[in-house]
Structure 1
């Protein structure tokens, strides 16, 4: 398995500095719902400290945790792709401090600075590829456990 990509450290220093000029420091108390699946994805965060759980609603009463994020991780990528709606929900698993970025401002910056835009898209793509690989591994592990138990 490849190492997790951390968005800010993946960007070259000049691009990272330009992006960080748009950052706003925010915090979320434990158990705060940061966003809900299907909501408007108009921002994203880089976690400075704490833990966030990504979840998917199974039905009106049940949610399933699909991933955990921590320090340095990108929270939210749906802002980058139409229709700009969250694919998952997110909740603060512990108190969280993060850098928050307004998506529209970041997209304008990317248009003004194409090398920054390319570096940012490439970094987000690497984050997504890593998460997909991790999820695939977890699904295979679950499949193997269920198969051994005779559940399949």
Structure 2
């Protein structure tokens, strides 16, 4: 938390754009953020949401540090904002901390992947397919 500062985003604020440089991340305190992907000729398609107590952003951890999604505040959002380069330097200086944070982000990614899979099955699996 020594690397964190407060962040407050009004509803409708774009926090980051797909393909932009990922130089920070957040732990959401209150509110909800939607994650989206670009769809040519249309509004971005919402693929997930992040709420209180959850980590927003993982692209800052993996080179080339580019956002894989876009993000928008669905409601007013209050969060702890972290500077990615400071956290990466701290991870390098303290391997135990680095390993713990890598593990935490990995668990979050696995959860998001599972959620996306379930959503896709709801949208595209034939009814009664047993999937």
Q: Same fold (TM over 0.5)?
A: yes
The count of corresponding residues between Structure 1 and Structure 2 is 127
User: What SS does the aligned partner of 2:20 have?
Assistant: coil
Moved over 6 A (4+): none
Gaps of 5+ in 1: 1-19
Q: Corresponding residue for 1:115?
A: 96
1:63-114 CA distance string (max 9 Å, x none): 1000011001111100000110000000000000000000000011111111
Q: Is 1:48 equivalent to 2:29 in the alignment?
A: yes
Q: Corresponding residue for 2:38?
A: 57
Q: Is 1:103 equivalent to 2:84 in the alignment?
A: yes
Q: Corresponding residue for 1:83?
A: 64
Instruction: Give the structure with the higher percent helix.
Output: 1
Gaps of 5+ in 2: none
2:12 to 3, 28, 31: 31
1:1-20 CA distance string (max 9 Å, x none): xxxxxxxxxxxxxxxxxxx1
RMSD across aligned positions (CA):
0.9
Provide the C-alpha distance between the structure 2 equivalents of 1:87 and 1:122, rounded to a whole number of angstroms.
19
User: What SS does the aligned partner of 1:27 have?
Assistant: strand
User: What SS does the aligned partner of 2:110 have?
Assistant: helix
Provide the C-alpha distance between the structure 2 equivalents of 1:53 and 1:60, rounded to a whole number of angstroms.
20
TM, length-normalised to structure 1: 0.81
Instruction: Give how far 1:62 is off.
Output: 2.1
Q: Is 1:71 equivalent to 2:52 in the alignment?
A: yes
Provide the C-alpha distance between the structure 1 equivalents of 2:92 and 2:48, rounded to a whole number of angstroms.
31
TM, length-normalised to structure 2: 0.94
